[in-house]
A and B are shown apart, each in its own frame.
Chain A
Amino acid sequence: MTCAIRMMGGQVMALVKSEELPVRIEQDVVMARQAVRRLSVELKFSLVDQTKMVTAASELARNTVVYGGGGTMRCEVLIDGGKSGLRLTFEDQGPGIPDMSLAMKDGWTSGGGMGMGLSGAKRLVNDFEIVSEVGKGTRVTITRWK
């Protein structure tokens, strides 16, 4: 656990708490969901917001395992001015995403899913950022503010 104050875009954003979890096997997806639930409860998110964040985390953690070949999830509790938020970063060193606009499309899947993972997760959060490089890996960052 670390505590830090960071300057972001000229604004002071405080990083209150940071945890990192391995996301390598299927059971880790369940652990990731539970960690996000616990932090969302600590942040006093509404039940709907908790559920949205946990569901988004589940989709992205599964992507990390299935498509990224395993990686990590970093959870950060942020305080920005008066509001608090939860930021999750999923990172893998997998094959990367060759066609980002295709991957972000509803209903498109390269695996056995429903193709709702990335596009669906994006709709469940306030901020969504994805960086992927073929052959290097993928990093998805989502934030939900209270």
Chain B
Amino acid sequence: MPSVCFYFQVHQPIRLRHYTVFEDSPQYFDDFKNGSVCKKVANKCYLPANRLILDLIRKFDGRFKVAYSLTGVLLEQLQHYCPEVMSTFDALAETGCVEFLGETYYHSLSFLYSRNEFVEQIHKHTELIKGLFGYTPKVFRNTELIYNNELATLIEAMGQFDGIITEGADHILGHRSPDFLYQPRNCNHLKLLLKNYSLSDDIAFRFSNRDWPEWPLTAEKFARWVSDVNGNGNVVNLFMDYETFGEHQWEDTGIFNFVRHLPEKILAHPDNDFKTPSEVVRSFAPVDTVNVPHVISWADTERDLSAWLGNAMQSNAIHELYRLERKIKKTNNAKLISDWRRLQASDHFYYMCTKYFADGDVHKYFNPYDSPYDSYINFMNVLDNLQSRCSEPTNGGMLGELPNETIQTDLQLA
């Protein structure tokens, strides 16, 4: 009896404005652009998708369930630019069929660079979700589904969470299927939910691809694939960006109609149902432990960190950023700390990726810069200014001059 577990990632970074080395204004963020992107995505995706999910929950009287992970920086922006979206999330929360996951408030890579900062951001995010929806997250997802054994141990030690989510990458599973509940290595309480990337990507990436032999994907066909798991799995974890609906896959691809009919087709099979991640954790026993000594993520085919930390610019930028932690926090200046934290969003480093730059693919679509070089220059100019706002003089020399060893050990360390 496969249960279908939907979790949608909802995030928008706070983008930087064009910032040259000649400026010294402490206004780093592009309010106009951030506002217009938020409004655009709200109209194309958040509002219609929320309304649709709400309709489906009501229609199936509690049998259709989903989970969201809303980043703190997204919620800040929605409150500011599109408060109407907030009220639709409120309505979803009130149905009791929607779970909210825990993550870092700033959609950051802090787990890799500062455990203190990482834990502080999880707490800050929990407080926000509690305040908005009266709900304490019980399942954790790390930024970009970045994960290893150490993360699981750390999350278990926090005591707040029952489950953790990551990518069902082939190289960690081997012959095993992602469609079961697992236990992270060295954990006793925490359960591990793995993304079924094949079925997830059928919706998120391939849905509108006319070269795909399975195009067009109908709700019926997809429900059949899900039912095929019957007898060889307990849960099908469909994890994807929420922007899939209406933004990555435009409305005219039929994506909303697909979702509208999916619950009906899935539930047509008497063995199938929908579960939230917390329900999955409660319903099943882990079948095995999974050992992940090296860091994995959900990005690209490599499923590693190379999209954010793959070149010298990315590595340098993020090191310089976290090197400021102590100094920034010492100032006790809330604006300064918030500016510093907003720079931690993984997106800023993603923009600097040179990996697929030549192919003009998915990386380019989300990139507000013409080139990774432009994004690095902009980020470093901002960081330079941020550093100058801390009263204390730096004790590390000029920005950018990082000992070679630090750059090299970066990925291994992670």
Q: Do A and B bind each other?
A: no
The interface of chain A, by Cβ under 8 A from chain B, is none
